């Protein structure tokens, strides 16, 4: 997921793994925004949790294990 810094206009990418971990924390704390630090200017950027969910939707636990051919 691409994030653009509001202060210095630097854009950077958040990995799927990062998003999943951040989403889990945000959900646990009931937050609507997750904050990330800009890689360039180190300011704090707010990222909407709803937007993050679109990039890292909850995966169905059995999806990958459905095929059990031996
Ligand atoms: Zn910045």
Q: Could you give the angle at the alpha carbon of 67 between the alpha carbons of 65 and 70, nearest 5°?
A: 110
60 part of a folded domain: no
In angstroms, the CA 27 to CA 34 distance is 10
How many A from CA of 9 to the centre of ligand 1?
A: 6
The helix (H) or strand (E) run that includes residue 55 is helix 49-55
Q: What is the pLDDT of residue 57?
A: 76
Residue 44 alpha carbon to ligand 1 centre in Å: 8
In which residue ranges of the chain is pLDDT below 70? Answer: 58-70
In a domain, 70, yes or no: no
The domain tally of the chain equals 1
Containing structural domain, residue 48: 2-55
- Tell me whether residue 51 is in a domain: yes
Is residue 44 classed exposed, middle or buried when 0-12, 13-18 and 19+ CB atoms within 10 A define those classes? exposed
The reported pLDDT for the residue numbered 30 is 96
Retrieve residue 18's tokens: 């990062």
**pLDDT score recorded for residue 62:** 56
Question: Which pLDDT score, from 0 to 100, does residue 32 have?
Answer: 96
Ligand 1 centroid vs 2 CA: distance in angstroms? 13
If you measure from the C-alpha of residue 56 to the centroid of ligand 1, how many angstroms do you get, rounded to a whole number? 23
d(CA 29, CA 32): 9
């Amino acid at each position: 997921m691409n994030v653009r810094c509001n202060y210095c206009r630097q854009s950077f990418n958040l990995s799927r793994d990062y998003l999943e971990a951040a989403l889990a924390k945000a959900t646990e704390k009931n937050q609507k925004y997750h904050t990330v630090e800009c890689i360039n200017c180190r300011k704090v950027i707010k990222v909407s949790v709803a937007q993050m969910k679109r990039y890292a939707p909850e995966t169905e636990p059995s999806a990958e294990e459905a095929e059990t051919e031996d």
